[in-house]
Amino acid sequence: MAKKVRAFVAVETPPEIRQAVSRLVKKLDKAGAVVNWVEAENLHLSLKFLGDIDMTDIAEIYMRLKRDLADFSPFEVSVNRVGAFPDLERARTLWVGVDDVEDSLGSVFDQLETSLASLRFRKEARRFSPHLTIGRVKDSHVAMDELRALMNEHLEFAGGAMDVEELVLFSSQLERTGPVYEPLARIPLGGSD
C-alpha cells in the first residue's frame, strides 16, 4: 500500500515578505484577541489543496504541471492590504492580500485547476482570492473590537513585491506545535528547471 501524504500547491513567500508580515502580526497581536497566528516560516500563497495523495502520484503531478505551466513566464505580485474572511465584522480567517495587476496568478490558477482536474482532483467551488493567511480567530468574543481597530489602522499594509517563478508541491504534517510544510516538488514556470 502506497504511503499517503497531505499535499497542497503554493507559491513560497520570500524572506523579506515573511519579515514584513511578521512585523504586522506583532502589531495585531497587541489587541489581545485569541488568534492562532501563522508562523513566519509557514507563510505561503496557497493555490490548491489536494488532500491526501499517494507518494507514488507525486511524479505524475509534477510532470503534468511542468508541461501545462511551460507557457507561463515568471511574473511579479505585490503583498498588501489587510482583511478577513468572511469580513472584518465576522472575522474567522485573517489575511494580507496579494495583488496581480496582469492577473497572471489568476491565469496560472485556472491552468492549475484544469491540469489537476485531468488527474481527478476536484475543482474549487469558490472564486480564487489570492491571499496569505496570517491567522485564524479561535474565540470571536475576546478583544475582537480591539483587533478590528488595529486591522483598520493597517488596511493599507504594504508588504512588498515578490517574483512568482515556480509553484511548489508541499506536504503538510500536523504536529502538536503546528503544521510542518515540506517541499515535495518544485514546478518552474516557463518549463525550465
Specify the length of the chain in residues.
193
Task: Please check whether residue 174 lies inside any domain of the structure.
Answer: yes
CATH number for the domain that contains residue 78: 3.90.1140.10
**Is residue 16 a part of any domain in this protein?**
yes
Beginning with the edge strand found earlier in the chain, give each strand of the sheet holding 158-164 in spatial order: 34-37, 131-139, 93-99, 75-85, 158-164
Q: What's the number of domains the chain is made of?
A: 1
Looking at residue 175, what is its pLDDT?
86
Check if 131 is active-site. Answer: yes
Angle at 156 (CA atoms; ends 150, 158), nearest 5 degrees: 110
In a domain, 45, yes or no: yes
pLDDT at 191: 65
- Is there a contact between 37 and 138 (Cβ–Cβ < 8 Å)? no
Q: Running along the chain, 193 residues long, what does each successive block of 10 average in pLDDT?
A: 89 97 97 95 96 94 96 95 94 95 93 96 91 95 94 94 97 88 95 62
Structural contact between residues 83 and 63, judged by C-beta atoms closer than 8 angstroms:
no
Supply the pLDDT for residue 126: 86
State the number of CA atoms in the 13 A half-sphere of 106 facing the CB: 9
The parent domain of residue 88 ranges over: 4-188
Residue with cell 501563522: 38
Q: Is 44 a catalytic residue?
A: yes
Whether 8 maps to a domain, the answer reads yes
CA dist., res. 96 & res. 80, Å (int): 6
Considering 18, 44, 48, 66, which one is annotated as catalytic?
A: 44
In a domain, 19, yes or no: yes
Residue 193 lies in a domain: no
Q: Does 72 fall in a domain?
A: yes
> Given 131, 132, 162, 185, which residue is catalytic?
131
Q: Give a yes or no: residue 77 inside a domain.
A: yes
DSSP-assigned states of every residue in the chain:
-PPEEEEEEEEEPPHHHHHHHHHHHHHHHTT--EEEEPPGGG-EEEEEEEEEEEGGGHHHHHHHHHHHTTTPPPEEEEEEEEEEES-STT-SEEEEEEE-TT-HHHHHHHHHHHHHHTTTPPPPSSPP--EEEEEEEEETTSSHHHHHHHHHHTTT-EEEEEEE-EEEEEEEEEETTEEEEEEEEEEETTS--
